[in-house]
Structure 1
Amino acid sequence: MASSDISAIFPIFTVLVGIAWYVWKTKAPRNGKLPLPPGPRGLPLVGYLPFMDSEIHHQFTQLAKIHGPIMKLWLGRKLCVIVATPSLAKEILKDNDIVFANHDVPESALALYDGKGITWSPHGSHWRDLRKVFVREMMSNASLEGYSFFRCREVRQMVTNVYAKRGTQINLGELAFITALNIMTSILWGGTLDGDERRKVGVEFRKAIDEIIELFGKPNLSDCYPGIAKFDLQGVVREMRTITNWLDKIFDSVIDQRMKMDSSNGEEGEENKDLLQFLWQLTKRGELTVTNIKALFMDVVIGGTDTTSTSVEWTMTEIIRHPKIMKKVQDELEEVVGLNNLVKESHFSKLNYLEAVLKEAQRLHPAGPFLVPQKPSQSCVVGGYHIPKDTKVMLNVWAIHRDPEVWNNPLEFKPERFLGDSGKLDFRGNDFRYLPFGSGRRICAGIPLAERVLTFIVASLLHSFDWRVAEGTKIDVSDKFALVLKKATPLIAIPTPRLSKQVLYS
């Protein structure tokens, strides 16, 4: 070969060697470790932050098609890993459950009663004790039955309120939020306060919850750059502490009322039992602190209002969009309940088609598109990649629930997919194709209550009324990312009474 040929090839060879070295340097395992997952490139210092979309569930799903079902990106100085298949979810939530037993806690949550509730507490004895109390006193069959009066009272009130507005347009998301909030606060302290006091506290409490939910959903630089968290540059922690002080006044007044009832009445009668009564007894025995009670109350209310009301709104959206499905649900309700009767919780076990509708709505529109982000307590391996300790790990449940390799015609609203053998798919997280409430030891502790409240509200709305949107209105099914996955535009619908007796609406 002539020297001129060698001279021409040498620059090309040098470039190829340089590229190969760069690929090896950036992709090869370091110190014998497996590589980090692939992912989009960011910028120095800020990572992928400048490229983040407001609708990250859509954005991350599209990125997964490019980089694969497990990918990484840097948000400032925070390493995030996002997974989007059932098999990867199983590795995190089952195979490595103990490693991923902690949640990645935002600064805003730490400012709310020091993050000492069930949701944000680190895995350990405190978390286990608090969860045990919650499950025993609120989620056991006996407790759920004991609180049925409160649920029934608030749902009946909802039906009465809707009847008063029959023939007019109603914001169903707002209606569901108020009903769910009333149910939760009634369970918490409904036997402690009388009707007027309960309504007054409920109004104040709703304002606080709205602000807390907004702060939880607000992007915070302190979470992306932990080193500057103490400066609270956006004032998120300061605002949350202000709300906490406001909540303290509400909680203290309710607890004070409970103390007065204990001192004047001694042991309560059955009709006055609420969660506060049980928790206050544990506080007097030294098993809980007042701060524990307040943090637990926040878990119950935040976890049981916004998610439930959003699920009600999405379910009603799909039902109104599909008149044949509405008729099938109403036919089942008419057969099981009867038009001369109101829905009772004892009917739920016979409402198989309604149950399938609720499951399908949770599949297509999961309230938590990423669940609560988790954080490994030690470095581990997921999907063949190295996941460092304290990485923020997000499960893209929204993508899993819409994956065509997992679900047949995934964008179609088809409740029948949850009938027959597929009806075994439930909210308990035993099948990693379907995770509306998560799975593993940090699965949502309130599933039994959430199921009852969601079923009660939707069943009562559909049994007591026919629903339609105003003529010429097209129902929008686009969503927007927040603490929960809400509708981009509220569902406004018009009710028409369908029960046989007007007295049933009283």
Structure 2
Amino acid sequence: MFALVCTVLALVLVYWSKARCRSLGELLQHRQLPPGPAGLPVAGNLLHMVWNKPVYRWIHRLLKEMNTNILCFRLGAVHVVVVSSPKIACEVLRKNDAVFASRPAMTFSFGHKSCSQSPYGAQWKKMRRVLTSEILSTSMEQRLQRRRAEEADHLVRFVYSQCCSTTPGNSIVNVRHVAQHFCGNMIRRLMFGKRHIVGMSPLPLSAGPQEVAQVDALFTLVNYMDSFFVSDYIPTTCIGLDIDSRHKKVAKGAMKTLNRLHDPIIEERIHEWATLLRRGEKGETRDFLDVLVSLQDSEGQPLLSLDEIKAQIVDIMMASVDNSSNAVEWAFAEMMNKPEVMDQAMNELDAVVGKERLVQECDIPRLNYLKACIREAFRLHPYHAFILPHVSMEDTTVSGYFVPKGSHVLVSRVALGRNSHTWDAPLEFRPERHMMNQPDVLLTEPDLRFVSFGTGRRGCPAVSLGTSVTMMLFARLLQGFTWSKPPSVRTIELKESTTNLTLAEPLFLQAQPRLPVHLYASI
């Protein structure tokens, strides 16, 4: 803490003139910032940020205490604006989408080369075009459908093998492990064309040390993307201090792990495509990596550099493992305490699919109640407290308040989804609320009453793929097995972790096969 105070004092002269001019400019123009806590000169609310961990809980306390749907505090010279109502969120992400289309230059951003992390400009436009036109194109999604189906089969085989390898009635499954590693296996298969980094595992979903290391590293980075670091707002290293060195060390360790695992695969693939090019042969794009490596510019040169390929791979993988696995785990936890919800979901599966075949992606449009359950999990239990920060590229006005150029704008997933003015009994898990006057339930939320895939220029472009992966994970686990609480557990404790929004403890449930034996044998 002493180091932080010294840092703030040392930066007073550096920031004072800038902060003073900005304050005077705002005063002269009679433009009022959104309400917020008082801060120190120059440092603003940096000390509050450091003292109140996790920061997102402090921010949401402020929103509640100040009884406001838009909040502003200052970290160094940066204004941070937080939005907590659907109406204001639509104003930011729809009406003023072009103004808020940039990203801040944060500590953990892969060199600002990936689509989600790049500030608005040529680099972002290039990477966004690669994603939407090539990686996530309809033709590519259809081409990889068989691989996704195989991963769904592997999921059922793995849980079934756990049921068969234990005493009947005593098959306890770690739902978090299953969900996270299904997502890890799925994106590894789509990205690299294989489920395992090196070699094979005797069980389909069984994670070897390399796969565990990869998924752990991805979640480490995912969690750091939600953190607030002093060095993102004041350049502490310029005076010989690095307040966030411990956090940076952990994040760099995660990146080092991913580079160790990914680099040999990427380099081998680059060599493979370079060889085909020299021979004048045309290769087949079998997976996402093939697309990234094989793209060429107008002069026949590689469109993406090695750093861009590596950054985009990590970007895609991070986006693939958190929300789906978290939503399914929370949905199961909630349904364990509401057997009537579980019964209705099972009844829908039996009516739409039956018990003589396994549910497939083509069934998803008709599984409205299951989609409502996942929508409710997204609403009530988001993995991230906020969407990734947007940056205002010019002075603008939001909800009647002045938002200066360069402000970081955060839309609260938590506050939107649990807003008592929007939702009746917002803390209660009620899938039925999403089926009112909805002939076809979708996981997207156009009115921003909660956030699933985002919206606007910086929204997630993988809505179709994300829906398929999430729903197949959920539907296969529900259809294939009867789930119950372990004998020693009376009620599942729906308690969030002290550091994030996940369940405080991994969910362990008892599973028993519920389909004919020949279906499990067929996969």
Give the one of 168, 175, 179 matched to 1:176. Answer: 179
Instruction: Give the partner amino acid of 2:244.
Output: Q
Tell me, yes or no, if the aligned pair for 2:71 and 2:81 is still in contact at 8 Å: yes
1:249–1:424 distance in 2 versus 1, CA, 3 Å: same
Counterpart check, 1:475 vs 2:486: no
Matches within 5 A, 1:146-161: 146-161=143-158
Question: Offset at 1:340?
Answer: 2.0
Extract unaligned runs of 5+ from structure 1.
1-25
Question: Offset at 1:301?
Answer: 0.6
Deviates more, 1:69-78 or 1:162-171: 69-78
Task: Name the counterpart of 1:94.
Answer: 94
Tell me, yes or no, if the aligned pair for 1:181 and 1:206 is still in contact at 8 Å: yes
Give the one of 290, 297, 301 matched to 1:277. Answer: 290
Secondary structure class of the residue paired with 2:437: helix
Cα distance in 1 between the residues matched to 2:196 and 2:171: 33
Give the one of 386, 398, 404 matched to 1:382. Answer: 398
Task: Name the counterpart of 1:117.
Answer: 114
Counterpart check, 1:74 vs 2:74: yes
Cα distance in 2 between the residues matched to 1:237 and 1:332: 47
Extract unaligned runs of 5+ from structure 2.
1-22, 164-169, 202-207
Tell me, yes or no, if the aligned pair for 1:192 and 1:258 is still in contact at 8 Å: no
1:65–1:238 distance in 2 versus 1, CA, 3 Å: closer
1:366–1:212 distance in 2 versus 1, CA, 3 Å: closer
Tell me, yes or no, if the aligned pair for 1:380 and 1:387 is still in contact at 8 Å: yes
Tell me, yes or no, if the aligned pair for 2:45 and 2:73 is still in contact at 8 Å: yes
Cα distance in 2 between the residues matched to 1:322 and 1:497: 21
| Number of residue pairs the alignment of both structures matches | 475
Cα distance in 2 between the residues matched to 1:423 and 1:222: 49
1:197–1:203 distance in 2 versus 1, CA, 3 Å: farther
Cα distance in 2 between the residues matched to 1:249 and 1:489: 30
Matches within 5 A, 1:128-277: 128-166=125-163, 167-190=170-193, 196=199, 202-226=211-235, 228=237, 231-235=241-245, 236-259=247-270, 261-262=272-273, 263=275, 267-268=282-283, 273-277=286-290
Show CA shifts across 1:237-292 (max 9, x none). Answer: 455445444433433311233245544795456xx711111221115743222211
Task: Name the counterpart of 2:29.
Answer: 32
Question: Offset at 1:498?
Answer: 0.3
Give the one of 303, 307, 311 matched to 2:319. Answer: 303
1:213–1:94 distance in 2 versus 1, CA, 3 Å: closer
Deviates more, 1:144-153 or 1:256-265: 256-265
Tell me, yes or no, if the aligned pair for 1:310 and 1:485 is still in contact at 8 Å: no
Task: Name the counterpart of 2:6.
Answer: none
Cα distance in 2 between the residues matched to 1:246 and 1:400: 35
Deviates more, 1:62-71 or 1:366-375: 62-71
Cα distance in 2 between the residues matched to 1:330 and 1:145: 28
Q: Which has the larger radius of gyration?
A: 1
Cα distance in 2 between the residues matched to 1:240 and 1:55: 17
Give the one of 123, 127, 147 matched to 2:124. Answer: 127
Counterpart check, 1:356 vs 2:372: yes
Tell me, yes or no, if the aligned pair for 1:27 and 1:35 is still in contact at 8 Å: no
What is the aligned-residue identity percentage?
27
Instruction: Give the partner amino acid of 2:214.
Output: F
Tell me, yes or no, if the aligned pair for 1:467 and 1:496 is still in contact at 8 Å: yes
1:337–1:424 distance in 2 versus 1, CA, 3 Å: closer
Tell me the C-alpha RMSD between the 2 structures.
Answer: 2.9
Tell me, yes or no, if the aligned pair for 2:295 and 2:302 is still in contact at 8 Å: yes
What TM-score, normalized by structure 1, do the two folds share?
0.85
What TM-score, normalized by structure 2, do the two folds share?
0.83
Deviates more, 1:405-414 or 1:279-288: 279-288
Cα distance in 2 between the residues matched to 1:342 and 1:404: 39
Tell me, yes or no, if the aligned pair for 2:104 and 2:119 is still in contact at 8 Å: no
1:196–1:41 distance in 2 versus 1, CA, 3 Å: same
Tell me, yes or no, if the aligned pair for 2:72 and 2:79 is still in contact at 8 Å: yes
Task: Name the counterpart of 1:448.
Answer: 464
Counterpart check, 1:436 vs 2:452: yes
Cα distance in 2 between the residues matched to 1:418 and 1:192: 35
Counterpart check, 1:107 vs 2:146: no
Tell me, yes or no, if the aligned pair for 1:279 and 1:293 is still in contact at 8 Å: yes
Q: Which has the higher helix share?
A: 1
Tell me, yes or no, if the aligned pair for 2:55 and 2:228 is still in contact at 8 Å: no
